[in-house]
Amino acid sequence: MEIAKELGLSRFKVARLLEQAKATGMVAITLRDVGFVDEALSERLRAHLGLKEAVVVETLGTEAEVRTQVGTAAATLLTETLHEGDVLGLAWGRTLTAMTEQLTALPPVSVVQLTGAVGSDLTESPVEAVRRASLSAGGRARAIFAPLLVENAATAAALRRQSDVAEAMALFERVTVAVVAVGSWDPPISQLRAILNDDDLRELTAQGVQAEVAGILLDDEGRLVGGDFADRCLSISARQLSRVSRVIAVAAGANKARAVRAVARSGLLTALVTDRALAEATLADL
């Protein structure tokens, strides 16, 4: 009807012209539901994991494209639900990187980095994620210019005493909304796991690590493991994260289902933004 009005033709004439164009291959009509939120599946997943919020979106394409689509959904959620004066804590991960690339206009909030850096890729650095988010919010930013994992607890303690690191970590107690990624150890889909030396990997695997979130290691039942390892990390602690009123995990891909269940069982999460594949795989243990 809109086309008919624009061209001054009857809608029947427009319908015939479209049919002819389709028949000759000049016009192809496709429906794309990428980014569409499945409300029913979101509610099923929320109830199953015992969360306060869940957002499940339809995705399509490569792993990188799926991460971007899930990241976009998370960016939309933040844009619509953050309030002026919130303190936003950001961990690290490729989906979180995709999320911050999609942020356009957050309300005035402070942004703090929740973990040190993993790896050397600056495009996926949590420092860069914090910078992008703070530009979108126009608020104060606190970054941690140090690695997530160091050789021993003494080195970690010394770094925590450095003024810039100490100022950032002091904000952990004031975080009102935290956004984290989920790393899986079985199957191995974890940037942190990938940088561990053989001794650390053997020891932590023996302790039953199944998932990690913001450098916090969890077993299949969501119990904390790797206490000595935590002493070597520059990151928010499990105690501090558990006191944040809203903790949003952003994850994609069916192969992270076991890890997502473990993190949900820990009680650290209140919300999850994900894709249909991961949602359905997570629900498969019903």
Q: What is the chain written as a DSSP string?
A: -HHHHHHT--HHHHHHHHHHHHHHTS-------TT-B-HHHHHHHHHHHT-SEEEEE---SSHHHHHHHHHHHHHHHHHHH--TT-EEEE---HHHHHHHHH-----S-EEEE-B-B-SS-GGG-HHHHHHHHHHHHTS-EE---SBSB-SSHHHHHHHHHSHHHHHHHHGGGG-SEEEE--EEETTEE-HHHHH--HHHHHHHHHTT--EEETTEEE-TTS-B--HHHHTTB-B--HHHHHT-SEEEEE---GGGHHHHHHHHHHT--SEEEEEHHHHHHHHTT-
Identify the segments of the chain with pLDDT beneath 50.
29-32
> Buried (b) or exposed (e) across 152-171, using 16+ Cβ within 10 A?
eeeebeebeeeeebeebbeb
Residues 6+ apart with CB under 8 A from 22: 28, 29
Mean pLDDT of the chain: 90
Token pair of 275 as six digits: 């894709």
Q: d(Cα 239, Cα 84) in Å, to the nearest integer? A: 25
Phi, psi angles (nearest 5°) of residue 37: -85, 120
Q: Write down the pLDDT at residue 229.
A: 93
Token pair of 248 as six digits: 């949003």
Q: d(Cα 96, Cα 178) in Å, to the nearest integer? A: 11
Q: d(Cα 167, Cα 186) in Å, to the nearest integer? A: 35
Q: Which pTM value belongs to this model?
A: 0.86
Its sign, for the CA torsion 62, 66, 71, 76, is: positive
Q: Write down the pLDDT at residue 89.
A: 97
Asked if residues 230 and 207 have their Cβ atoms less than 8 Å apart, the reply is no
